[in-house]
Amino acid sequence: MSIRVEEALGVHVRALDLRMQRSEILAANLANEDTPGFKARDIDFAGEMSRLNSPFSAQLTASTSSATSELMYRVPTQPSQDGNSVELSVEQAEFSRNSMDFQTSLTFLSMKFRGLKQAIEGR
């Protein structure tokens, strides 16, 4: 009996890829905190995961399904005078939350690999 790695690992591989993209976006927001006119952006993680897991997405090639997600602009609660919409506390909280979720997905993948290894070894 063969093991299909994609099915065995579940959504965690796609989640890690999307979390990595999101961390780059949030890091760019943080780096441009003092840039006049910079607009903070983010992605809708849940929406992108449902899009990636849709039946239509399964028909796409791997290169197009891992393409960059649609970016949305963040609406600031307190707009600045120079047009910059980055709010440091919001971006730091989102970055921290995204990092914890990334680590959680890594832990799940680690457990999946451990289970696959035990299955292969016959334990």
Q: What is the pLDDT of residues 48-104, one digit of tens each?
A: 988 877 765 554 444 444 456 789 999 999 889 999 999 999 999 999 999 999 999
Domain hosting residue 22, numbered range: 5-121
Exposed e or buried b per residue across 25-62, where buried means at least 16 C-beta atoms within 10 angstroms of its C-beta: bbeebeebeeeeebbbbbbebeebbeebeeeeeeeeee
What pLDDT is stored for residue 14 in this prediction?
87
Closest CA to 73 of 44, 32, 34, 49: 44
| Per-residue CA distances from 53 to 36, 50, 89, 102 (Å) | 38, 5, 32, 18
Burial of residue 111 (CB within 10 Å: 0-12, 13-18, 19+) is: exposed
Quote the number of domains for the chain.
Answer: 1
What's the whole-model pTM score?
0.79
